[in-house]
């Protein structure tokens, strides 16, 4: 396979981007969703015109109806499997003439949101509000909702964003390690994906920017799996186009931002403690901490997940569980990393 990084000579590799590191994960997700929608509907959509393309709600309604149609096909072809999956039963009405920032646009978007809740069963924490899109108030919520919709519709045969496949790949790795049975019903086979050839190099490059007296440690356990810092924290790392992504909190972060938060020389006094609770997948917790209880389950401070992960954990079938509180994050500092909407 051709290596997307082979032609780039020196570090830092593509690290200078027009947004700060805390926004990189959102940009990476947006890019993934834009690619996905472009392929699905042959649209001219990218990260720059992402909200603009969605804001009249027409594409969202079109997608809702396509997903509903796919669910009906799935039901007809695999009635037994369909019993075990949440399927939408009806689509949405759409005003095809809606202009941006009009009542008609609001109606379309509102119809889509209602459909996500009622027909797809997407949980409130992953929903967005009409204003988030129509007035562009909160892009992140729109992105998280679309990704969750991608996860769910993938189970009955709708093409999914790449991140969904990466998540599934990690879950499968964890299941094999724990000798767990496959989920019921089994997830569809992912499409063939070009192997990324230089993940280790990318990781090395990002870690090597550490200027601590003793370099922040990130030890490769296996391909795409690393032990970080002085703790026993394991993280899964994947390449998504030109981003190095870390599975964290049931969602994703970029490795760059992750290191900004954990490598002492990069975060100075604002470091978040490395904690197993960053990996909120129940499979992952089982792998690392086979005995529930103890520190990771018993030291809840306020019953809330860390702010940095609160926004983007999933409610997918494999991690449908309340996020755990981070045991020793300094309270009040989280906002610095992830501003509240």
In degrees and rounded to multiples of 5, residue 102 shows phi and psi of: -110, 170
Q: Which residue has the tokens 């993940």?
A: 199
Question: What does the CA dihedral 112, 115, 117, 119 come to, rounded to 10 degrees?
Answer: -150
Interacting residue with Zn ion among 70, 85, 265, 333 (CB under 5 A): 265
Does position 263 bind Zn ion by CB under 5 A? yes
Interacting residue with Zn ion among 5, 115, 128, 216 (CB under 5 A): 216
Does position 253 bind Zn ion by CB under 5 A? no
Neighbouring CB atoms inside 10 A of 7's CB total 7
Taking alpha carbons only, the member of 302, 296, 304 closest to residue 322 is: 304
Does position 43 bind Zn ion by CB under 5 A? no
Would you say 13 or 265 has its CB closer to Zn ion? 265
Does position 93 bind Zn ion by CB under 5 A? no
Size of interface with Zn ion, in residues (CB under 5 A): 5
Would you say 127 or 210 has its CB closer to Zn ion? 210
Q: Which residue has the tokens 């609001």?
A: 106
Would you say 98 or 244 has its CB closer to Zn ion? 244
Q: How far is the CB of 231 from Zn ion (least distance, A)?
A: 15
Q: How far is the CB of 258 from Zn ion (least distance, A)?
A: 13
Token pair for residue 59?
Answer: 């594409």
Q: How far is the CB of 249 from Zn ion (least distance, A)?
A: 22
Q: Is 150 helix (H, G, I), strand (E, B) or coil?
A: helix
What is the C-alpha separation between 24 and 302, in angstroms, rounded? 28
Please name the residue ranges forming H helices in 155-223.
162-177, 199-207
Q: Quickly list DSSP for 3-69.
A: -TTTT--SSSPS---SS-HHHHHHHHHHHHHHHHHHHHHT----SSSHHHHHTTSHHHHHHHHHHHH
Burial-class residue 320 by CB neighbours within 10 Å (0-12, 13-18, 19+): exposed
Q: Rule CB under 5 A: which of 128-157 touch Zn ion?
A: none
Q: Assess contact for 167 and 151: CB atoms under 8 A.
A: yes
Q: How far is the CB of 339 from Zn ion (least distance, A)?
A: 24
Token pair for residue 221?
Answer: 């356990």
Interacting residue with Zn ion among 3, 135, 212, 221 (CB under 5 A): 212
B/e letters for 288-304, b = 16+ CB within 10 Å, e = fewer, are ebeeeeeebeeeeeeee
Would you say 159 or 210 has its CB closer to Zn ion? 210
Does position 195 bind Zn ion by CB under 5 A? no
Which among 69-77, 139-147, 216-224, 294-302 is the span making contact with Zn ion, rule CB under 5 A?
216-224
Would you say 34 or 228 has its CB closer to Zn ion? 228
Token pair for residue 106?
Answer: 């609001």
Token pair for residue 146?
Answer: 């679309």
Does position 210 bind Zn ion by CB under 5 A? yes
Would you say 197 or 265 has its CB closer to Zn ion? 265
Q: Is 326 helix (H, G, I), strand (E, B) or coil?
A: coil
Does position 334 bind Zn ion by CB under 5 A? no
Q: How far is the CB of 209 from Zn ion (least distance, A)?
A: 8
Does position 82 bind Zn ion by CB under 5 A? no
Q: How far is the CB of 216 from Zn ion (least distance, A)?
A: 4
Does position 258 bind Zn ion by CB under 5 A? no
The residues binding Zn ion (CB under 5 A) are: 210, 212, 216, 263, 265
């Amino acid at each position: 396979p051709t290596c997307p990084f082979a032609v780039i000579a020196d570090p830092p590799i593509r690290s200078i981007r027009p947004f700060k590191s805390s926004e990189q994960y959102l940009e990476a997700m947006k890019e993934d969703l834009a690619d996905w929608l472009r392929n699905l509907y042959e649209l001219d959509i990218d990260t720059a015109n992402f909200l603009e393309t969605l804001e009249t709600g027409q594409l969202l309604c079109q997608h809702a109806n396509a997903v509903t149609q796919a669910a009906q096909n799935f039901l007809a072809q695999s009635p037994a499997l369909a019993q075990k999956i949440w399927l939408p039963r009806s689509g949405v009405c759409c005003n095809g003439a809606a202009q941006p920032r009009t009542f008609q646009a609001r109606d379309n978007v509102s119809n889509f949101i209602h459909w996500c809740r009622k027909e797809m069963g997407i949980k409130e924490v992953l929903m967005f509000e009409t204003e988030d899109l129509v007035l562009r108030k909160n892009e992140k919520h729109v992105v998280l909702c679309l990704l969750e919709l991608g996860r769910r519709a993938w189970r009955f045969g709708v093409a999914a964003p790449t991140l969904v496949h990466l998540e599934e790949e990690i879950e499968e790795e964890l299941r094999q390690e724990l000798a767990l049975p496959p989920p019921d019903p089994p997830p569809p086979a992912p499409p063939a994906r070009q192997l990324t050839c230089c993940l280790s190099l990318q990781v090395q490059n990002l870690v090597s920017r550490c200027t601590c007296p003793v370099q922040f440690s990130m030890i490769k356990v296996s391909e795409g799996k690393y032990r970080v810092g002085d703790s026993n924290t394991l993280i899964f790392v994947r390449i998504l186009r030109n981003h190095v992504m870390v599975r964290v909190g049931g969602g994703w972060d970029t490795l760059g931002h992750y290191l900004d938060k954990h490598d002492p020389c990069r975060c100075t006094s604002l470091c978040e403690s490395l904690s197993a609770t960053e990996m909120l997948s129940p499979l992952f917790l089982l792998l690392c901490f086979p005995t529930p209880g103890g520190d990771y389950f018993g030291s809840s401070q306020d019953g809330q997940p860390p702010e940095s992960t609160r926004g983007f954990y999933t409610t997918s079938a494999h991690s449908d569980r309340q996020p755990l509180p981070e045991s020793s994050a300094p309270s009040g500092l989280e906002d610095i990393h992830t501003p509240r909407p």
